[in-house]
Amino acid sequence: MTEPADAAVDAAEEAVRREELAANLAEVRERIAAAERAAGRPAGDVTLIVVTKTWPASDVRLLAGLGVGDVGENRDQEALPKHEACADLGLRWHFIGQLQRNKARHVAAYADVVQSVDRPELVAALDRAAAGAGRTLDVLLQIGLAAVPDGAPPAHRGGADPADVASLADLVEAAESLRLAGVMAVAPLGPDGSPADPRASFARLADVAAGLRADHPRATMVSAGMSGDLEEAVAAGATHVRVGTAVLGGRPRLR
Ligand SMILES: *Cc1c(COP(=O)(O)O)cnc(C)c1O
């Protein structure tokens, strides 16, 4: 008869985790609020997306209970079962990872927003997949902000060349089951692995976003800023920040 004791341990562990997430969330929300004030933006202007990759569905459930409405996932094989376990929570699911064409069908089944569209073949694959699922997906164009020296391979963090954004945007607009919602970027890393210059990167992103809005006025989302650089992103006009570590803690090592 160990079951009641196990249940008590589980409940106690859950309570501890809830406390931890609540405290971290409060801190991140205060950072966002301070950044909004510093930028002269209205309170609540910026939406927090909590990046739950590598963390269990039980954490997603606790976060929903703490008022989180948007979650981000970057690995398809992990996101699909997690979404199934949390389908009752009414969350908005953002896919933020590198996307392979052959995974489009999975992603279209659960994602509400796909933030990592950076090439034409993905647009076609996602459109087909969304149509097949009877869904309409919001799409962000992921912008590559690293300065790539001539002849060098594309930056490892993904993203379309800003010069290709207009044509990619037209493709998304023309797709029946996709809605062009804006842009996303990850600030490039410097040689030592820390963000190179998030201010300059997010300023470039703001330029790209403004150019896109000139042609597509409804594409207003700017998804930028993570645990380490959300202040710089909010200062540069981000409408959505994607925060993992600062809410959930250091990520468990992937198997
Ligand atoms: C993991 C991830 C984040 C969150 O990063 P943290 O530093 O943990 O806040 C944001 N955006 C993308 C694209 C990610 O892959």
In a domain, 255, yes or no: no
pLDDT, residue 192, reads: 74
pLDDT, residue 1, reads: 52
Assigned token pair, 91: 């969350």
In a domain, 224, yes or no: yes
Instruction: Name the residue with the closest Cα to ligand 1, atom 13.
Output: 96
Residues 6 or more apart in contact with residue 44 via CB below 8 angstroms: 36
Alpha helices by DSSP H, 103-164: 104-110, 120-133
pLDDT, residue 4, reads: 74
In a domain, 254, yes or no: no
Mean pLDDT, consecutive 10-residue stretches, the chain (255 aa), reads: 78 95 98 98 98 97 98 93 96 96 94 97 97 97 78 63 97 98 92 79 97 98 97 98 96 58
What is the Å distance from ligand 1's center to 224 Cα? 10
User: Does the Cβ of 159 fall within 6 Å of ligand 1?
Assistant: no
Instruction: Name the residue with the closest Cα to ligand 1, atom 6.
Output: 244
* Total count of domains within the chain: 1
Exposed, middle or buried, 241 (CB in 10 Å: 0-12/13-18/19+)?
buried
Q: Is the dihedral of CA 146, 149, 154, 156 positive or negative?
A: negative
Write the pLDDT tens digit of every residue in 20-56.
Answer: 999 999 999 999 999 999 999 999 999 999 999 999 9
DSSP string, 161-201: -GGGHHHHHHHHHH-TTEEEEEEE--PPB-TTSSBS-HHHH
Residues 6 or more apart in contact with residue 180 via CB below 8 angstroms: 139, 141, 169, 172, 173, 216, 218, 219
- Whether residue 143 contacts residue 159, with contact meaning beta carbons closer than 8 Å, is answered with yes
What is the bridge-based pairing of β-strands 70-73 and 137-142?
Answer: unpaired
Find the domain containing 80 and state its range.
Answer: 4-248
Atom of ligand 1 nearest to the CA of 227: 9
- Whether residue 50 contacts residue 243, with contact meaning beta carbons closer than 8 Å, is answered with yes
Residues 6 or more apart in contact with residue 57 via CB below 8 angstroms: 81, 82, 85, 86
Q: Cite the beta strand spans of the chain per DSSP E.
A: 47-51, 70-73, 92-95, 113-117, 137-142, 178-184, 221-223, 240-243
User: Does the Cβ of 243 fall within 6 Å of ligand 1?
Assistant: yes
User: Does the Cβ of 96 fall within 6 Å of ligand 1?
Assistant: yes
User: Does the Cβ of 186 fall within 6 Å of ligand 1?
Assistant: yes
User: Does the Cβ of 144 fall within 6 Å of ligand 1?
Assistant: no
| Measured distance CA(168)–CA(156) in Å, rounded | 20
User: Does the Cβ of 63 fall within 6 Å of ligand 1?
Assistant: no
Write the pLDDT tens digit of every residue in 83-97.
Answer: 999 999 999 999 999
What is the Å distance from ligand 1's center to 111 Cα? 17
Packing angle, helices 165-174 and 198-215, rounded to 10:
50
In a domain, 88, yes or no: yes
CA separation, residue 220 to residues 91, 200, 213, 224 (Å):
21, 20, 7, 13
Q: Domain containing 114 — which CATH number?
A: 3.20.20.10
As a whole number, the mean pLDDT across the chain is 92
